[in-house]
């Protein structure tokens, strides 16, 4: 019988350690499917973050490099400059990409490094127990904002995609979500484009993925999807924010 669905080649057989309902696993799968479809498994080099996806190097069946917290874009820069023929990507949470690693993210985008960044925005620090992240929404309760994020005190949640899209070196920036089958399909399309932009040597490519953290949001997996739809989608609009193709 013809097999029409299966595990992507670019994923190992290792079972994910993620909590039930966590969408990190969906995004891993999408990245792996794109690597398969582009036929770049041998050329791909991923850079794993610190955060819940710290073990990404065990899941992607490609060459992987671990980076210190937030430093993935700097590590990816070095890897890509030494191996310009390789397909280099980072996989990072919002604490990693938008907090401790802000400088690395901004400057890699500004320099137009030909790397692909996959940025998981779950509005919280997952691994360390649910502290406030730069992406935490106004009023959102976390362990370090038990009364809800007060923007007068903690500032407003950062829209990384809009901010990085202003930089000349950023060739492709999109925000997607994995809250529904329709949006998962769109997310895959954007991830594929972000890899194609790198293959075409156009510059820095970023895909921000709105994601769930049921454990630290204190919700069931289904409630977490509802929460994402009701609270994150209005503040973080989906779509391509920058695409050089459209400028032509």
Ligand X SMILES: Cc1ncc(C[n+]2csc(CCOP(=O)(O)OP(=O)(O)O)c2C)c(N)n1
Binding site for ligand X (CB under 6 A): 50-53, 69, 93-96, 100, 120, 122, 125-128, 133, 213
Give yes or no for residue 183 binding ligand SF4 (CB under 6 A): no
Q: Terminal CA-to-CA distance of the chain, rounded, Å? A: 45
**DSSP-derived pairing of the beta strands 170-177 and 239-243:** antiparallel
Neighbours of 181 (CB within 10 A): 8
5-38 exposure pattern, b = at least 16 Cβ within 10 A, e = fewer? eeebebbeeeebebbebbbbbbbbbbbbbbbeeb
Give yes or no for residue 28 binding ligand SF4 (CB under 6 A): no
Give yes or no for residue 18 binding ligand SF4 (CB under 6 A): yes
Minimum CB distance to ligand SF4 smaller for 61 or for 94: 94
Minimum CB distance to ligand X smaller for 53 or for 197: 53
Minimum CB distance to ligand SF4 smaller for 135 or for 215: 215
Is 62:35 a contact under the CB 8 Å cutoff?
A: yes
Minimum CB distance to ligand SF4 smaller for 126 or for 203: 126
Instruction: State the minimum distance, in angstroms, from the CB of residue 227 to ligand SF4.
Output: 12
Task: Kindly list the strands in the beta sheet with 63-66, ordered across the sheet, starting from the edge strand earlier in the chain.
Answer: 63-66, 44-48, 87-93, 116-121, 204-210, 170-177, 239-243
Give yes or no for residue 29 binding ligand SF4 (CB under 6 A): no
Q: What is the CA radius of gyration of the chain?
A: 17
Burial of 163 (0-12, 13-18, 19+ CB in 10 A): middle
**Number of residue whose CB is nearest ligand X:** 93
Give yes or no for residue 213 binding ligand SF4 (CB under 6 A): yes
Which listed option, ligand X, ligand SF4, none, makes contact with residue 128 (CB within 5 to 8 Å by class)? Answer: ligand X
Give yes or no for residue 32 binding ligand SF4 (CB under 6 A): no
Instruction: State the minimum distance, in angstroms, from the CB of residue 53 to ligand X.
Output: 5
Applying CB under 6 A, the residues found at the interface with ligand SF4 are 18-19, 22, 24, 52, 122, 126-127, 213-216
């Amino acid at each position: 019988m013809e097999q029409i669905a299966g595990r992507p080649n670019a994923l190992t057989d290792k079972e994910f350690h993620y909590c039930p309902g966590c969408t990190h696993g969906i995004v891993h799968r999408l990245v792996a499917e794109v690597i398969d479809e582009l036929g770049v498994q041998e050329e791909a080099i991923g850079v794993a973050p610190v955060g819940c996806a710290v073990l990404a190097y065990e899941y992607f069946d490609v060459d992987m490099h671990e980076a210190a917290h937030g430093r993935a874009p700097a590590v990816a820069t070095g890897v890509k400059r030494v191996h310009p023929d390789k397909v280099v990507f980072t996989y990072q949470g919002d604490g990693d990409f938008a907090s401790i690693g802000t400088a690395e993210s901004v400057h890699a985008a500004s320099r137009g490094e030909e790397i692909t960044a996959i940025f998981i925005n779950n509005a919280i620090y997952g691994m360390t127990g649910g502290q406030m992240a730069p992406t935490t929404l106004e009023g959102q309760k976390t362990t370090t904002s038990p009364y809800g994020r007060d923007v007068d005190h903690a500032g407003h949640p950062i829209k990384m995609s809009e901010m990085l899209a202003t930089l000349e070196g950023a060739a492709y920036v999109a925000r997607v979500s994995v809250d529904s089958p329709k949006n998962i399909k769109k997310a895959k399309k954007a991830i594929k484009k972000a890899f194609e932009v790198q293959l075409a040597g156009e510059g820095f490519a970023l895909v921000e993925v709105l994601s769930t953290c049921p454990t630290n949001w204190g919700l069931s997996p289904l409630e977490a999807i509802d929460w994402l739809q009701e609270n994150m989608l209005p503040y973080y609009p989906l779509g391509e924010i920058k695409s050089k193709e459209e400028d032509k």
